């Protein structure tokens, strides 16, 4: 996440940052109560979109698609961590 995005989220009172106790160069980000309250609505909205775009799929097709996307995401994470080293 970019510094600009984090700054905007802080300005909107969705996150706050706190300096790490062990490493003063590090700041940890935390959700504010305002952001936490939005989580159920965001999840509901995401579910509505997913239901809409997958309504023509069978349950088996949904399962296979979800499993395949999970594998792709996992592989992406592995490659990202290798790149960061």
Alpha carbon distance, N-terminus to C-terminus of the chain: 18
DSSP string, 2-55: -HHHHHHHHHTTSEEEEE-SS-TT-EEEEE-HHHHHHHHHHHHHHHHHHHHHTT
Tens digits of residue pLDDT in 1-21: 789 999 999 999 999 999 999
CA distance 32 to 50: 27
**Token digits for 46?**
């995401």
Tens digits of residue pLDDT in 35-78: 999 999 999 999 999 999 999 999 999 999 999 999 999 999 99
CA distance 26 to 10: 16
**Token digits for 41?**
């609505």
**Token digits for 73?**
């995401």
């Amino acid at each position: 996440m970019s510094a600009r995005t984090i700054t905007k989220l802080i300005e909107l009172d969705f996150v706050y940052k706190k300096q790490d106790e062990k490493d003063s160069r590090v700041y940890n980000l935390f959700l504010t109560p305002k952001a936490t309250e939005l989580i159920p609505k965001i999840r509901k909205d995401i579910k509505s979109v997913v239901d809409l775009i997958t309504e023509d799929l069978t349950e088996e097709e949904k399962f296979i698609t979800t499993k395949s996307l999970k594998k792709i995401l996992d592989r992406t994470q592995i490659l990202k961590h290798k790149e960061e080293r």
